[in-house]
Chain A
Amino acid sequence: MRSNLGFFSDEKFRSIFFQTLVVGLFALGLFFVISTTSYNLEKRNIATGWSFLQNPAGFDISFSPFLEFKSTDTHLKVYFVGVLNTLLVSITGCIAATILGFILGIVRLSSNWLLSRLVYIYVEFSRNVPLLLQIILWYSILIQLPRVKQSLQVLDVFYISNRGLYSPRPIFESGFSYVSIAIVLALISSFLINRWAKKRQDKTGQQFPVFSSSIGLIFIVPLILFFILGSPLSFEHPELKGFNFKGGLVIRPEFIAMFLALSIYTAAFISEIVRAGIMSVSKGQREASAAIGLKQTWIMRLIIIPQALRVIVPPLTSQYLNLTKNSSLGIAVGYADLVHGFGGISLNQTGQAIECMAIVMATYLSISLTISFFMNIYNRSIQFKEK
């Protein structure tokens, strides 16, 4: 009896045995799912395979700011249009949510009772109402704007209607590339100045007006160059022709609704993360820095925020991931993102649900992993460096 159980009393063997068992069961389950699926697909004569990607889509997508899309283009191109639209609303949404979230998180801690109560109400409202409803709410408000023929005119160049916000489109003429080069050079040199000034301050304690000199470099130098070159920039103004405005840049209400809802919703969470981060820095830090006579703004920027960031960044990463994944709700208002365009229309026109969904899922997975990757690098850079 004892000899039979000999294997099992060996810890190493037991551990390997159970791990193999779990992996084996998982593989068996996976095999079962795949074989059942393919068996049933075949039985019901449902087409499979990837060749549909090369077939013409046959439908049009109007919202495609980066790629020209025609109905003769392939389903593969529908996919790329969808990815770009998803990235567009996710990236702009993350930026706006971060800025708004930081401001609100700090205001929430302000000693002004009214301000902090207002932020409190905002946070509780947007965190506790389903995002889908918020998206639909924004969209419903936006399509109640005036009709296109009665557009509101702002500053003579912007037109607002329920078809979107029309603004002039900049047209860059030949000399403008020099201005762009100047801006890039100015950005690089301000970065270098910043580094040099920091080093010098560490060594000698002398300060350098980094901020004002950078502003001068980035704005004034290119501006002077711009006028020397004879203003090589003109604008194409939108004009009401027939049914719609022609020309100009347009931001569609579908995009605005998604952008507003996603950033306002996520900002509420971020503001709580920021508040928690700031409160995690012990009170003594603030008192000590006040005691050595630092200005209030410096205390925040040099003492509190760097320490708070250690607490803020990991949950902030998951908010970015949430926002990106939530952008898949674009379908509710007809925003042509990845799920709506490729995972919706293409899927439905070709009927190849499994292939389309697999691609869409793999894409979200890659986007999320990429965000995590970069946020982890950033996170490592702001952690305490033990010396």
Chain B
Amino acid sequence: MKKLLSIFAVVAFAFSAHAGTLDDVKNRGFLKCGVTTGLAGFAAPDDSGEWAGLDADMCRAVAVAVFGDRSKVEFITTTGKSRFPTLASGEVDMLARNTTWTISRDVNLGFEFVGVNFYDGQGFMVPSALGVSSATELDGATVCIQTGTTTELNLADFFRLNGISYEALPIETNDEGKENLFAGRCDVYTTDASGLSSTRAAASNPDKWVVLPEIISKEPLGPLVRHGDHQWGDVVRWSLNAMIIAEELGITSENVDAQTSSNVPEVLRLLGVEGNYGEMLELSNDWAYQIIKQIGNYSESYEANVGPDTPLEIARGLNALWTQGGILYAPPFR
């Protein structure tokens, strides 16, 4: 019996193709990256049908790190509910999908959050005609809420804590939320503040909507991979860190070529001129150079997708570098 069991274990092991995600990705020739079903600024198809946004850039950065080519990525849309099974089953190699890092997801669900690419918090958006100026005035309101999210739990906690009642209208995707809010089926839409800005930017008349001042939770959003594949986790983690470090060091997609002859040791290490950090990750030595060249540093990605000059108009705030009043911080590159 024991022998039989161990045979099964071996067979089962062979069937679970997650022994080395990096090798799988390399053999396949492209990266499968789980993103939202469409959230402007984070991951949504642009006018030419190309996926664009902060999360989309995250996926592309990993593709560049592995293949040196930003187009070697297949975007797979996932809902708030389908994202975890999709990742767990190996249908995608990683998620970059506005996903909040929590203990239960990190520990109990068997995933590994590799960092934070956007510090967010949950907010509320209402029609300005409603005349509401604070979330504590929302007693009795109907609230549209995406199911299967941390925001759903925060919402219940917030109303319970403040002793006010509400009616939840559970919806699946951001688009459904928009539709129900704009039709007046719900009074309030609650999700991460960035998501609200994105929704507001998509409205026909953004001035008709206000985001209330309360931020009721911490929502560190970041990319995640399956637990247990540390090599692959490292690749994704350092792809993100490379973009943050590049901003710290003032390397941009424009000056990256000039920077290869810099005299700053960390710049040379990052760009692969010195040391063999690429080899350690089983990547080519110019992986970080390629990320910066093809995608840009964190700031470039931020400003192009969600920054003050975009329809989303989100100030850097917490997402500024630690040296500039924010909390964005990457471990040293050495």
Contacts and interface: CB of A to CB of B under 8 A. Distances in A.
Interface of A: 32, 35-36, 39-40, 43-47, 58-62, 71-72, 143-144, 147-148, 162-163, 241-244, 246, 253, 331, 334, 336, 340, 344-345, 348-349, 351, 353
Interface in B150-164: 152-153, 155-157, 159-160
A63 B155 CA distance: 17
Contacts, number: 116
Nearest to B5: A35
Contacts of B183: 143-144, 162
A244 B80 contact: no
Contact of A46 (B12, B110, B142, B169): B110
B8 A45 contact: no
Contact of B138 (A40, A58, A243, A340): A243
Contacts of A143: 179-180, 183, 185
A257 to B, nearest CB: 12
A163 B185 contact: yes
A59 B8 contact: no
B226 interface: yes
B139 interface: yes
A62 B109 contact: no
A59 B168 contact: yes
Interface in B18-66: none
B228 A43 contact: yes
Nearest to A37: B12
B104 A351 contact: yes
A43 B16 contact: yes
A348 B16 contact: no
Nearest to B156: A71
Contacts of A244: 140-142, 167
Contacts of B109: 46, 351
Most buried by B among A143, A336, A348: A348
B41 to A, nearest CB: 24
A40 B172 CA distance: 29
Size class of the B contact interface (CB-based, 8 Å): 35 or more
A44 B84 CA distance: 13
Contacts of A61: 168, 170
B318 interface: no
A269 to B, nearest CB: 28
Most buried by A among B8, B147, B180: B147
Contacts of A47: 108
B107 interface: yes
B107 A45 contact: yes
Most buried by A among B160, B169, B228: B169
A243 B138 CA distance: 8
B82 to A, nearest CB: 9
A163 B108 CA distance: 38
Contact of B157 (A71, A242, A246, A351): A71
Contact of A162 (B156, B159, B184): B184
B252 to A, nearest CB: 39
B275 interface: no
Interface string B1-20: 00001001101110110000
Nearest to B166: A60
B124 to A, nearest CB: 13
B226 to A, nearest CB: 7
B147 A58 contact: no
A39 B138 contact: no
B219 interface: no
A58 B81 contact: no
B132 to A, nearest CB: 9
Nearest to B18: A44
B156 A62 contact: no
B21 to A, nearest CB: 13
B88 interface: yes
Nearest to B182: A143
15 contacts: A36-B8, A36-B11, A46-B110, A163-B142, A243-B139, A243-B140, A243-B141, A243-B142, A244-B142, A244-B167, A336-B170, A340-B147, A345-B148, A345-B170, A351-B104
A244 B141 CA distance: 7
Contacts of A147: 184
B226 A348 contact: no
Contact of B156 (A43, A58, A148, A348): A58
A58 B227 contact: no
Interface string B116-157: 000000000000000000000011111000011000110111
Contact of A44 (B110, B138, B147, B153): B110
Given A35-B5, A45-B107, A353-B85, A162 B141 contact: no
A331 B172 contact: yes
Contacts of A44: 88, 110, 226-228
Contacts of B141: 242-244
Most buried by B among A71, A243, A244, A351: A243
B314 interface: no
A162 B142 CA distance: 12
B93 interface: no
A40 B9 CA distance: 9
B243 to A, nearest CB: 28
B217 to A, nearest CB: 13
A272 B157 CA distance: 51
A40 B12 contact: yes
Ordered nearest first, which 9 A-B pairs have the shortest CB separation?
Answer: A348-B148, A71-B156, A147-B184, A44-B110, A243-B141, A36-B12, A62-B167, A351-B109, A45-B110
Contacts of A241: 140
Contact of B152 (A43, A62, A242, A345): A345
Contacts of A43: 16, 228
A138 to B, nearest CB: 14
A253 B167 contact: no
Contacts of B176: 334
